[in-house]
Amino acid sequence: MSKFNLSTNHPLIPNANEYLNETKYVSIHSEDRNMIKYPSSSEFEIELPQDYTNVQSLSLTNWSFPSNYNVFSDFNANRKMTFKFKNVYDPSEHNITTTDSDELAVVQTVQDIFDVLSQDLDQEFVITIEEGFYTPEEMAAELTAKFNAAVSYYLMEYDTSLLGAYDAFVIHYSTVQQKLWFGNTRDQFELVNDSTVIAQKELLDSRCKKKNVLPEYSNWGLPAFLGFVRCPITAEAPAYSTQLLQANANISPFNMNGTIIIVPRDYSYTPVDSSDTGIGEWLVPTLYLIGSVVYFLKTPMKINLMGQSYFYIELAGYNCLDETSPYSLSKFTATTNQTNGVVNSAFAKISIPTTPVSQWYDDSSPSYKWFNPPAERIRKLTLKLRYHNGQIPEFGDFDYSFTIGFQMLKPQIEHKASIFTVG
């Protein structure tokens, strides 16, 4: 006989091998994190209210995020573009006669500008737009101001009286074609979209910020968002011919002191004031600058200012979504036509349906994590939000919230019952 007492008043209850599928929802808010340890709401760890046991699956059921992102920022390396002059208008080559003192002052200023700019036509001007989100019209206004300011600051280094004197650049957004038109009322220019100067500046500005960001061929800088390809493009003066005028509705004849010149025309253009000339003529030369012609170019593609369309949610240990990676030139991609990607790279993919500043709500994510056998216990979640290229979204002081659903299997006790009818 055994020397141990095997009798017990608490016999084991046999498992009925029957389970109740119970779903428990947990609401998580970004402001509930340890803000000292996790200052950014895009990466943090949070402890759940209780242990969730025998978890069969994990899913994202609903969410609310703020839309306050910056499409253009130093981190995105898309605030700069470069241009240079190909030909500068010289008033001394034309017999300009005027008795108006204001016009004479302008002619002298333009002559001083020519004397400075003509010394080095290879000089590249780098403009930097303000950080943030733009509408197309706001982008056109910002580019106009920054192009003219870049030249004015350069002129000021030679003559302080020329500060703010350059105003020949005009950038216009065509609402019909959804393209930007770059123009100059008298000087020929070139947009140097493959400039090594700007590449070096962007590299220095983002060397520490973009260590974990994958390389991209699509969003390579500000010109890519404006509709340019990665090669220089030179502005040209509209050519004059009757056949060309009849075939091209984007140009029109303009009478300048009895001389017919050609100017670009956009019928969607709204004149700034009543002093503007013909319908849709957004770029015309200065009347008393005899011999000056306008130069302009259009972007090859439509403008794109929307920024990222999706971001991903990662839950450490519970990722279930496979993801391809942005194309980059390497020995692997050069020698094979296979795609590269990451298995179980994220937990869920969230669309960004609105533009700043707003709040969006959504639900019913198709992604879920399935456990077989069920996960014994879940008490903590480590969260990371990122874009497809690895960049972290910045929500600043804006909070967000989402709900996680835990589908749990609850074992049931075997019940035996007998029912007797008396009577």
- Which pLDDT tens digit goes with each residue over 306-352? 888 899 999 999 999 999 887 766 666 677 766 678 899 999 999 99
Ranked by mean pLDDT, the top range of 24-28, 214-218, 307-311 is 24-28
Domain boundaries, the chain: 15-68+309-413, 80-298
Ranked by mean pLDDT, the top range of 22-26, 251-255, 307-311 is 22-26
Does 1 score more than 60 pLDDT? no
Q: How confident is the prediction for the chain on average, in pLDDT?
A: 84
Give every CB contact of residue 240 below 8 A, 6+ residues apart in sequence: 253, 260, 261, 262
Residues 189 and 233: their CA atoms lie apart, in Å, by 9
Give every CB contact of residue 203 below 8 A, 6+ residues apart in sequence: none
- Closest Cα to residue 226, out of 290, 299, 164, 328? 299
Strand-pair category, 341-346 with 321-324: antiparallel
Class for the domain spanning 15-68+309-413: mainly beta
Higher-scoring residue by pLDDT: 8, 291: 291
Side by side, the strands of the sheet bearing 169-174 are 169-174, 179-184, 295-298
The average pLDDT across 52-70 equals: 92
The tokens of 100 are what? 């108006």
Q: pLDDT grade, residue 241 (50/70/90)? A: very low
Residues 62 and 45: their CA atoms lie apart, in Å, by 19
The tokens of 264 are what? 């670009």
Share of the chain above pLDDT 70, in %: 80
The average pLDDT across 151-159 equals: 92
The average pLDDT across 177-191 equals: 94
Query: Reduced to 3 states, what is the DSSP secondary structure of residue 13?
Result: coil
Mean pLDDT check: name the lowest of 2-6, 61-65, 76-80: 2-6
* Each residue's pLDDT tens digit, 269-294: 776 654 555 677 888 888 788 888 88
Predicted confidence at residue 242, as pLDDT, reads 46
Give every CB contact of residue 326 below 8 A, 6+ residues apart in sequence: 214, 215, 216, 217, 218, 388, 389
Q: pLDDT grade, residue 371 (50/70/90)? A: very high
Predicted confidence at residue 90, as pLDDT, reads 93
Q: How far is CA 185 from CA 27, 188, 250, 272, 395, in A?
A: 59, 9, 16, 16, 42
Does 392 score more than 50 pLDDT? yes
Predicted confidence at residue 243, as pLDDT, reads 46
Does 362 score more than 80 pLDDT? yes
Does 247 score more than 60 pLDDT? no
Predicted confidence at residue 253, as pLDDT, reads 59
* Each residue's pLDDT tens digit, 138-147: 999 999 999 9
Higher-scoring residue by pLDDT: 80, 220: 80
Which pTM was predicted?
A: 0.81
Query: For residues 271 and 330, is the Cβ–Cβ distance under 8 A?
Result: no
Predicted confidence at residue 2, as pLDDT, reads 60
- Closest Cα to residue 31, out of 22, 20, 40, 23? 40
Looking at the DSSP bridge assignments, the partners of residue 282 are none
Does 244 score more than 70 pLDDT? no
* Each residue's pLDDT tens digit, 87-102: 999 999 888 777 788 8
Predicted confidence at residue 113, as pLDDT, reads 94
